[in-house]
């Protein structure tokens, strides 16, 4: 081939020299170029770096951006207070109410336990025995204790009233017995918990304790909040009452039974204010 | 005093609650019907000189009695099954409903009542009586036969 027809870089001695000297660099440039142009090799190298940076960011985000986030939240709360209250109130209200009720209940139970154990209680008992009972202590203690205000013995299913006693004026007792039975039936039917029965209804300052027996059930409306121990105590008294007074065949239209139960219910659950007297005497 | 549980049931809007109100003084709110599906009230009636307390359970209307909680039926001495004379479809499940009630409460006194008599003509009444054979035709609106219905149930319950 004549010299004039050869490619320029082959004919140029300087270019030839450059090609020889810079070959490794040119190969590296081509390799880097390939990495940058091809997605997979690029991802292989870049992803670990990004992941590392993200972990770093996550670890240090609160520290680095806390101030900015705080300002943002503060501004959002200021700008849409009503919305925030609407959203939080139902949740917070319920939580606070539950928390306070639970704390009060725990406090009351703990005070009860401490009183039972304490030297002070023993000293008071000695006063009591010696006839030197501190009236103020008893009055204070009794005032805070739950009291049975209404008592019902109701036939299962039909809801017919077998007997009742009350310390206050109430709506027709037969209607209460009927509606209570309807509510019981509704709960059992709606929640389908096998043989489990409704045992306690709470309303305002009242608790209705329900204890089921085969053909009837006993419902006591108690003013005040009972502790678990007091509920057990009252259940025990119901069992004693049933054993002593209802150990015979009972019929809803037995007029003498109505009278008898009305009288005995009062004696068992109201006259002696069982939850107070027994609690005090238990410490003697 | 003797007491008896009496249930008033049937499809929706047949006039059960109106019959109920015609007969008893309304003690509790009707809201109970929508909340727990039942409302209880009572009336003391005189049967041959003896007082009888009728404890009436007004059950929220359901197209079929299969949907009414079985526990509501238990312990009832009598059941009043109401259908609307002006809406024939409210008696569509009459036979199967009565069968179901008899199964839950064997031997229970059941009265089938065609209500809203004031809304249908004499000719229609004859046909409806022949088809469904109701024990009573009442009108809660005018009060026709309402007292008679409950008093007959009361006296039958005393001798039941």
Q: How far is A269 from chain B (nearest CA, A)?
A: 24
Domain ranges of chain A: 3-37, 147-281
Q: Is B3 on the interface with A (CB under 8 A)?
A: yes
Domain count, chain B: 1
Write out the E strands in A59-109. none
Q: What is the pTM of this model?
A: 0.63
**Angle separating helix axes A274-281 and A135-144, nearest 10 degrees:** 130
Of B41, B55, B69, the CB nearest to A160: B55
Q: Is B36 on the interface with A (CB under 8 A)?
A: yes
Average pLDDT, chain A: 77
The Cα A174–Cα B52 span in angstroms is 12
The mean pLDDT values, 10 residues at a time, for chain B of 160 residues are: 92 89 74 76 91 92 81 93 93 92 94 94 92 93 92 90
| Higher pLDDT, residue A144 or B10 | B10
Which CATH number does the domain housing residue B27 bear?
A: 3.40.50.300
Interchain contact, A157 vs B55, CB within 8 Å: no
Q: Is the pLDDT of residue A142 over 70?
A: no
Range with the poorest average pLDDT among A101-105, A241-245, A275-279: A275-279
Per-position b or e across B84-111, b if 16+ CB within 10 A of its CB: bbbeeebbebbeebeebbeebbeeebbb
Interchain contact, B38 vs A161, CB within 8 Å: no
Instruction: Name the class of domain A147-281.
Output: alpha beta
Range with the poorest average pLDDT among A85-89, A106-110, B12-16: A85-89
**pLDDT interval class at A27 (50, 70, 90):** confident
Nearest CA in chain B to A251: B2
Q: Is the pLDDT of residue A178 over 80?
A: yes
Q: Which of A163, A164, A172, A251 to substitute to test the interface with B, most B CBs within 10 Å?
A: A172
The Cα A55–Cα B118 span in angstroms is 81
Q: How far is B143 from chain A (nearest CA, A)?
A: 24
- Could you tell me the two tokens for A281? 């005497």
Q: Which of A153, A161, A170, A182 to substitute to test the interface with B, most B CBs within 10 Å?
A: A182
CA angle A30, A35, A38 (to 5 degrees): 115
A199, A184 Cβ separation under 8 angstroms: no
Nearest CA in chain B to A161: B3
Q: Is B62 on the interface with A (CB under 8 A)?
A: no
Domain housing B66 = 2-158
Q: Is A195 on the interface with B (CB under 8 A)?
A: no
Q: Is B145 left (phi over 0), alpha (psi -120 to 50) or beta?
A: left
Q: For residues A107-134, give the mean pLDDT.
A: 64
| Of A230, A224, A220, A227, nearest in space to A205 by CA | A224
CA angle B14, B19, B23 (to 5 degrees): 170
Q: How far from A274 is each of A118, A239, A245, CA to CA, in Å?
A: 23, 14, 17
Interchain contact, B5 vs A156, CB within 8 Å: no
pLDDT > 70 fraction of chain A, expressed in percent and rounded: 70
Q: How far is A89 from chain B (nearest CA, A)?
A: 26
Cα-based torsion angle of the residue sequence A217, A222, A226, A231 in order, rounded to the nearest 10 degrees: -20
Contacts of B128 (CB under 8 A, 6+ apart): B85, B88, B114, B120, B134
Q: How many residues are recorded in chain A?
A: 284
Chain B residues closer than 8 Å to A161 by CB? 3
Contacts of A134 (CB under 8 A, 6+ apart): A124, A127
Q: How far is A182 from chain B (nearest CA, A)?
A: 7
Interchain contact, B27 vs A160, CB within 8 Å: no
Of A155, A185, A255, the CB nearest to B69: A185
Q: How far is A216 from chain B (nearest CA, A)?
A: 12
B139, B113 Cβ separation under 8 angstroms: no
Contacts of A264 (CB under 8 A, 6+ apart): A241, A245
Of B27, B53, B74, the CB nearest to A171: B27
Range with the poorest average pLDDT among A33-42, A44-53, A79-88, B106-115: A79-88
The confidence score (pLDDT) of residue B159 equals 80
Q: Is A183 on the interface with B (CB under 8 A)?
A: yes
Interchain contact, A161 vs B3, CB within 8 Å: yes
**pLDDT interval class at A7 (50, 70, 90):** low
């Amino acid at each position: 081939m004549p010299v004039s027809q050869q490619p320029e870089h082959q004919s140029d001695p300087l270019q030839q020299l450059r090609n020889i000297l810079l070959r490794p660099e040119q190969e590296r440039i081509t390799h880097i170029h390939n990495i940058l142009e091809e997605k997979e090799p690029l991802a292989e190298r870049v992803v670990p770096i990004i992941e590392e940076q993200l972990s770093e960011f996550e670890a240090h985000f609160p520290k680095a951006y806390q101030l900015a986030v705080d300002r943002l939240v503060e501004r959002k709360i200021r700008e849409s207070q009503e919305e925030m209250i609407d959203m939080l109130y139902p949740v917070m209200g319920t939580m606070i109410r539950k928390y306070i009720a639970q704390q009060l209940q725990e406090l009351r139970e703990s005070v009860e336990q401490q009183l039972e154990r304490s030297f002070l209680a023993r000293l008071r008992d000695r006063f009591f025995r010696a006839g030197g009972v501190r009236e103020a202590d008893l009055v204070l203690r009794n005032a805070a204790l739950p009291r049975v205000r209404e008592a019902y013995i109701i036939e299962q299913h039909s809801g017919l009233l077998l007997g009742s006693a009350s310390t206050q004026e109430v709506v027709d007792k037969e209607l209460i017995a009927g509606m209570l039975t309807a509510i019981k039936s509704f709960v059992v039917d709606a929640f389908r918990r096998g043989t489990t029965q409704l045992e306690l209804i709470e309303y305002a300052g009242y608790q209705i304790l329900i204890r089921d027996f085969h053909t009837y059930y006993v419902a006591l409306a108690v003013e005040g909040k009972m502790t678990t121990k007091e509920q057990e105590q009252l259940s025990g008294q119901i069992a004693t009452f049933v054993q002593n007074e209802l150990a015979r065949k009972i019929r809803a239209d037995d007029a003498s039974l109505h009278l008898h139960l009305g009288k005995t219910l009062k004696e068992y659950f109201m006259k002696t204010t069982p939850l107070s007297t027994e609690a005090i005497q238990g410490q003697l | 005093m003797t007491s008896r549980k009496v249930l008033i049931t049937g499809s929706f809007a047949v006039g059960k609650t109106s019959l109920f109100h015609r007969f008893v003084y309304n003690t509790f709110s009707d809201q109970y019907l929508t909340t727990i599906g039942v409302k209880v009230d009572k009336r003391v009636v005189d049967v041959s000189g003896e007082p009888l307390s009728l404890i009436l359970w007004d059950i929220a209307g359901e197209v079929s009695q299969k949907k009414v909680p079985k526990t509501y039926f238990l312990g009832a001495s009598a059941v009043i099954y109401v259908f609307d004379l002006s809406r024939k479809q409210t008696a569509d499940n009459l036979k199967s409903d009565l069968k179901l009630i008899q199964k839950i409460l064997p031997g229970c006194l059941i009265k089938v009542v065609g209500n809203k008599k004031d809304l249908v003509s004499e000719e229609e009444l004859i046909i409806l009586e022949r088809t469904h054979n109701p024990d009573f035709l009442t009108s809660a609106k005018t009060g026709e036969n309402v007292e008679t219905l409950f008093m007959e149930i009361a006296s039958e319950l005393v001798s039941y």
